[in-house]
Amino acid sequence: MNEEPIIYATLPEVMIFQVARTIQDGEVVFHGYGSPVPTLAMLLAKRAHAPHMVHIEGATYGINPEPPFLPPTSNDWSLEQGSVMAIGISELFDIAARGDMGRMFLSGVQVDCHGNLNVTAIGDPDSPRVKLPGSGGGCNLSGDVQHVTIWTTGHRAPTNKAGKRQFRFVQHIDFISSIGHISRDGISRQALGLRGGGPDWVVTELGVFDFDPVTHVLRLRALYPDTTVQDVLDNTEFEPVIAPEVSIVPLPAPEHVALIRRFDPLRTHQREFKSTDLSRCFDL
């Protein structure tokens, strides 16, 4: 397969490329466990445009690993291969707490217009309708890390059996597991004394977003070749800002796609996607 010319990229691969583009060279970057899309984005960025990025692996905390494959669980020795060493859990969180972590990646089952995320519970957390797995380190890191990239593969809102749309980008968030730009009480990050700048990019299967600099509301910046502004509006419960010029996302080069396929021979990242998105392909 490595010998064959690469002539297309899948939607997941294009999304991984968009997440990789949010990484700057020379910064300390960390992804959480259970996050194959950011893991591959980091592996790609370091070998593409950010060779001096410090890659800290999600659960092993290995530094600059060269994994032979991505397993479907994060605390595995395979993800430590190629690292000179690993740091410990307190060292990792201390780097962020003192303001030295450049970027991290967070997701949510509910995302509100200011980038607050819920991965804790749907309904009342004291008697949840759905208990979600939990935020890991996301609550602390959302406050401490300099920049956060939000990603989700579930922007498209399906209709449930009762005919009700199930939005991921919601008007009302049930629980704030990690903080975006403005709290539930309307307080800014600065007034909360938080160190980091909050989420600056949001990458979904429908488009790429940032936040309006004045209102801190989600703002559409780019679409995929096969999505429209209307798709975004139809699948977002609140009203997002639409940038004056919405572009089409840049596609990865064949060598970028080759790197993604080399690092993920088990296609672990595809487990994050719906089958309809797996079949979206773009000619390179």
Q: What is the four-CA torsion angle of 12, 254, 209, 213, rounded to 10 degrees? A: 150
Q: Does 38 participate in binding other proteins (rule CB under 8 A)?
A: no
Give the residue, chosen from 169, 175, 209, 211, that forms a contact with other proteins under the rule CB under 8 A.
175
Between 89 and 248, whose beta carbon lies closer to other proteins? 89
Q: CB-based burial of residue 38 (10 Å sphere; 0-12 exposed, 13-18 middle, 19+ buried)?
A: buried
Residue type, 66: E
Q: Does 276 participate in binding other proteins (rule CB under 8 A)?
A: no
Six-digit token string for 116: 């607050």
Q: Does 48 participate in binding other proteins (rule CB under 8 A)?
A: no
Between 194 and 243, whose beta carbon lies closer to other proteins? 194
Q: Which stretch binds other proteins (CB under 8 A): 153-161, 163-171, 241-249, 267-275?
A: 267-275
Question: In this structure, are residues 217 and 195 in contact, taking their beta carbons and an 8 Å threshold?
Answer: no
| Chain centre to alpha carbon of residue 251 | 18
Six-digit token string for 36: 């194959």
Between 191 and 242, whose beta carbon lies closer to other proteins? 191
Give the residue, chosen from 78, 166, 228, 247, that forms a contact with other proteins under the rule CB under 8 A.
78
Residue 263: HSE in the Cβ half-sphere, 13 Å Cα cutoff: 26
Q: Which residues of the chain form contacts with other proteins (CB under 8 A)? A: 33-34, 36, 59-61, 68-69, 71-78, 80, 86, 88-90, 93, 96-97, 120-121, 125-144, 175-179, 183-184, 187, 189, 192-195, 265-266, 268, 271-272
